Amino acid sequence: MYSESLEPLRGEATAGAYSIKDGNDQDVRHHEGIFPIVRYDNEGRLHLLGTGFFISNNGLFATAKHVLNAPFKNGREEFPIGLIQFRPNKTFLHRPILRFAAHPKSDVAVGVGAPMSHVLDGTPMINPLLILDSEIPAINTRVVTFAYPKYKNEISEDVQRVMFEPSFFDGNLIEHLPAGRDRVLLPGQCFRTNIALHRGASGGPVFSPNGRVFGINSTGYDGTDDSYISAIRDIFDLSIDDVQVNNGRPRSVTIRELSRRGHVLITPNIS
């Protein structure tokens, strides 16, 4: 990966206008809790699929269903996918995505990134997590997303150089569609906004004015500010397999149960 400034995109928020808090109400380095999701080709080169964000401190994350479904054809995974977790001091980790659960109608999913340990002492590596909002903002509320559509991928003489530059994009919440937009592409609960969503922003978190995540980027239309986001609360009853809770046996656990046990932060309380 390399560092340079990429051209701004339509709809980017003013620099410094927004910040993100973690579950301890501390400022988060945006790129450490929100990350690009990538696929790997036959040569091991990576290609951007979308954006995801951590909802627990041990690798559980949320994103759009269509982002994680991208590598599958006829029920079979055609290429591996993973997430790029950025760390302090300009370091990063490749974390394979082990498994995920997707909502049957809404364009939302939760997944598990492979666990990572510190090289020196072997202690588990933790990540910042975002707070989820079980309430829906009022229509015409100003909302904002943070995602990775600013992306550059160059391959020269068998060397790949990749640039990810995340950014905020803001707009207004225009319409709530509890029965979905249509029967095919977005049949689940969603919202219409005028946030400019570009390719690569799918799966990114959408924040209420209180700084909590109430939605997930689903789709936008090139050249317009007409975009749709799916409701975060549709992940609450999704189940993740092989989760070990409080030293118990691995089993299937819902996001709602993980919230009751304090591993996922949802406000107001939904238990």
| Start-to-end C-alpha separation, the chain | 43
- Supply 223's token pair: 């050249």
- Is the per-residue pLDDT at 175 higher than 80? yes
183/204 Cα distance (integer angstroms): 23
Tell me if residue 90 falls in helix, strand or coil.
Answer: helix
The domains found in the chain, sorted by start residue, are: 1-271 (2.40.10.120)
Q: Which two tokens stand for residue 187?
A: 């049949």
State pLDDT tens for residues 86-134: 887 778 888 999 999 999 999 999 999 998 887 777 788 888 899 999 9
Residue 60 and residue 258 in contact, taking contact as beta carbons nearer than 8 Å: yes
Give pTM, 2 decimals: 0.92
What are the two backbone dihedrals, phi and then psi, of residue 79, each rounded to the nearest 5 degrees? -155, 150
Distance CA 230, CA 188 (A): 8
**Mean pLDDT estimate for the chain:** 89
Which pLDDT belongs to residue 97? Answer: 94
- pLDDT single digits (tens) 136-154: 999 999 999 999 999 998 8
Using a 10 angstrom Cβ sphere, with 0-12 exposed, 13-18 middle and 19 or more buried, the burial of residue 141 is middle
User: Strands 132-133 and 266-267: what pairing?
Assistant: parallel
Look-up of token digits 């979308």: 50
Share of the chain above pLDDT 90, in %: 58
Structural tokens at position 227: 């975009």
Place of tokens 């118990």: 248
14 φ, ψ to 5°? Answer: -60, 135
